[in-house]
Structure 1
Amino acid sequence: MDLRQLGYFVAVAEELHFGRAAERLHMAQPPLSQAIRSLEADLGTPLLHRTTRRVELTDAGRAYLQRARAILASVDAAAQEARLVAAGAIGHLAIGCVGSATYSVLPALSRRLAAELPGVDFSFRGEMLVPDQVEALRTGEIDVALLRPPIPDASLAISTLRHDRLVVALPTEHPLAGRRQISPAALRGVDLIVHSADRRSMMYDVVLRLAHDAGVEPRIRHEVGETSTLITLVAGGLGVAIVPEPVTALALDGVVYRPLTRPVTTVDLAVAHRADRGEPHLLRTVETIRAVV
């Protein structure tokens, strides 16, 4: 028994006529009749009742027809699924984002991915610190990350997407809020809100380096894990924060953003995944991220 025999049987069973079935299958009638007899011999029971005037299904033939149709449909579905997988059109991916990308990239990215890869099931994790993203990539908890280098990990494929300038987030009533731009030196004696050092935030090191280069001893009052919490505390008047410019998408009442003056400092935004992974739907997702960012 093989799939070709099943297809022959379904054609005869639906036409109830060997001649019409042969025409439908683009073959001669004798080999078709022989194939059906061979199938019946393999099964050990007749599937068709033949007379000189008509062809009818036996009870066994009617039952077998339902199964044969289901088998052929399943085979077709498997072939289609294989083609879609090869084309990167189906699958599942989890994407993790640093805080600034959560607000500036994720809304447009999620819409674009839904439009271009509707067969891929995406899940998203926002507000992830870079060390957590790296660990999640290693363990497979997430598949793709929008993060901020440097990442000293040769097991990851990392590609820079853009360079984001740094800005200062201030309470609207802060004495520095009236300035058009702010230098790092102006932050001397100012309460700072930063991402957590305990959770190894990359932005923590950036802020400290800026302060030290300007000869300023940073006065850190609050450390937080999430960018949204950081900006909320700024809105509450608890201090100021240095953040990547895309964070300005968080337009909370009580917060203003001012450019950081020269030297212009930027932090990179990159896309990363494990270097040993090359599934088509993952690579298509990375290309879509590039197009959006």
Structure 2
Amino acid sequence: MFSFVRIVDAGSITRAADILHIAQPALSQQMTALETHFGQQLLIRSKQGVEPTDAGRALYRHAQVILRQVESAQAEVSVVGRELAGGVSVGLAPYSTVSSIALPLLTAVRSRYPSILLHINENFGGVLSEAMMTGRMDMALLYDAGPIKGVNFERLLTEELMVVAPAGTGLPGDTGTAVAIKDLVDLPLLLPGPMHTIRKVVEQAYEHAFEHARVVGEVESVTLMAQAVRNGLGATVLPFSVARRIMNVENLELRRIEPTIEVQVSLGTPANQPLSGPAEAVREVLRSVVANYIRTSSEADRGIQ
């Protein structure tokens, strides 16, 4: 299984043989024996390399899960009676409050479980969900998630979205007052792409008000978004805590929106396989860190009400 995965990853039996330090003919014989065992052609061989067949792709998905489980088992067995150890992967949705908990989570895990190797991946919901379904990720915090086959979800928090605009934008009303969707029709907006939850809920809010959002740019990079807003290229819509984290909010206008626009954040875990001992421990730490984040950030959030 391990050799097969390496061949698919490398796209070539020759390159895989070099990586595995195995003679190329011997590796080819292993693949022939594997195809005989399954009674299916698993690889399409050409001068350019190899590609998995449909059967090969199915085996590749299962092999990744199996290898990950073997790795977890080895880590747990090796430390029976001692501290938890092994790799644990956690996904975080970008433009989300939960990105703010990455450092506290890493700090807490390093402090409590120094032998656990924590891998944090900030990516979009579809990518993270697919990674959990295929066993390549232990858990992820996602926007408005579920139901998704193969993934269990536990709702953890609700985020209210706000307008974040350059100073002098001229939003109606006094600073600190909410603005209605109809007053934002002419506001140039920088938003993530159409598949992102924030983009979807913002456009839905405009549609419910029988208006249309004026999107002037699609920005997937959090860093670029912060720079663009501060340079006056447009406004955006984000949770206040995210705006506070990614940009210096001084000299920016932050206003609540009426009616309120909210998104839910849920913790997703694979439904088809149990979490390893280290992953269970990290999940409990994650829940604790999120709960503490909610408590400590509520006072700052109230300051703009």
Given the two structures, how large is their TM-score scaled by the length of structure 2? 0.63
CA–CA distance in structure 1, aligned partners of residues 260 and 97 of structure 2:
20
In the alignment, which of 153, 167, 190 is matched to residue 148 of structure 2? 153
State the 1:255 CA deviation.
6.1
Equivalence for 2:201:
206
State the 1:282 CA deviation.
1.1
- Read off the aligned partner of 2:260 and give its amino acid letter: V
Identity %: 20
User: Which string of whole-angstrom CA distances, capped at 9 and with x for unpartnered residues, describes residues 169-205 of structure 1?
Assistant: 11123112863232222211111111111xx211111
Rate the CA distance shift 1:220–1:95 in 2: closer, same or farther, 3 A.
Answer: same
Equivalence for 2:193:
196
Rate the CA distance shift 1:139–1:130 in 2: closer, same or farther, 3 A.
Answer: same
Q: Is the counterpart of residue 173 in structure 1 residue 168 in structure 2?
A: yes
- Read off the aligned partner of 2:235 and give its amino acid letter: V
Larger radius of gyration: 1
Rate the CA distance shift 1:139–1:78 in 2: closer, same or farther, 3 A.
Answer: closer
Q: For 1:84-95, what aligned pairs fall within 5 Å after superposition?
A: 84=82, 89-95=84-90
Q: For 1:55-70, what aligned pairs fall within 5 Å after superposition?
A: none
State the 1:245 CA deviation.
2.7
CA–CA distance in structure 2, aligned partners of residues 246 and 137 of structure 1:
27
User: Which string of whole-angstrom CA distances, capped at 9 and with x for unpartnered residues, describes residues 26-74 of structure 1?
Assistant: xxxxxxxxxxxxxxxxxxxxxxxxxxxxxxxxxxxxxxxxxxxxxxxxx
Please say if residues 195 and 230 of structure 1, whose CA atoms lie closer than 8 Å, have aligned partners that are also in contact. Answer: no
Equivalence for 1:256:
252
Query: Unpaired segments of 5 or more residues in structure 2?
Result: 1-74, 291-305
The CA RMSD over aligned residues, in Å, is: 2.4
Q: For 1:110-149, what aligned pairs fall within 5 Å after superposition?
A: 110-126=106-122, 128-149=123-144
Helix, strand or coil for the counterpart of 1:277? coil
Equivalence for 1:82:
80
Given the two structures, how large is their TM-score scaled by the length of structure 1? 0.65
Q: Is the counterpart of residue 281 in structure 1 residue 278 in structure 2?
A: yes
CA–CA distance in structure 2, aligned partners of residues 257 and 103 of structure 1:
22
CA–CA distance in structure 1, aligned partners of residues 93 and 204 of structure 2:
20
Equivalence for 1:108:
104
CA–CA distance in structure 2, aligned partners of residues 102 and 229 of structure 1:
19
Equivalence for 2:261:
265
Query: Unpaired segments of 5 or more residues in structure 1?
Result: 1-76
User: Which string of whole-angstrom CA distances, capped at 9 and with x for unpartnered residues, describes residues 72-127 of structure 1?
Assistant: xxxxx99761234xx7x11101212112246421121111111122110012122x
CA–CA distance in structure 2, aligned partners of residues 165 and 256 of structure 1:
18
CA–CA distance in structure 2, aligned partners of residues 280 and 103 of structure 1:
24
CA–CA distance in structure 2, aligned partners of residues 195 and 271 of structure 1:
22
Q: Is the counterpart of residue 182 in structure 1 residue 182 in structure 2?
A: no
- Read off the aligned partner of 2:126 and give its amino acid letter: P
State the 1:155 CA deviation.
0.8
CA–CA distance in structure 2, aligned partners of residues 125 and 78 of structure 1:
23
- Read off the aligned partner of 2:114 and give its amino acid letter: P
CA–CA distance in structure 2, aligned partners of residues 277 and 184 of structure 1:
45
Rate the CA distance shift 1:254–1:220 in 2: closer, same or farther, 3 A.
Answer: farther
CA–CA distance in structure 2, aligned partners of residues 281 and 269 of structure 1:
23
Rate the CA distance shift 1:137–1:152 in 2: closer, same or farther, 3 A.
Answer: same
Please say if residues 195 and 203 of structure 1, whose CA atoms lie closer than 8 Å, have aligned partners that are also in contact. Answer: yes
- Read off the aligned partner of 1:252 and give its amino acid letter: N
CA–CA distance in structure 2, aligned partners of residues 253 and 264 of structure 1:
21
User: Which string of whole-angstrom CA distances, capped at 9 and with x for unpartnered residues, describes residues 213-246 of structure 1?
Assistant: 2222111111122333223221121111111232
CA–CA distance in structure 2, aligned partners of residues 96 and 231 of structure 1:
22
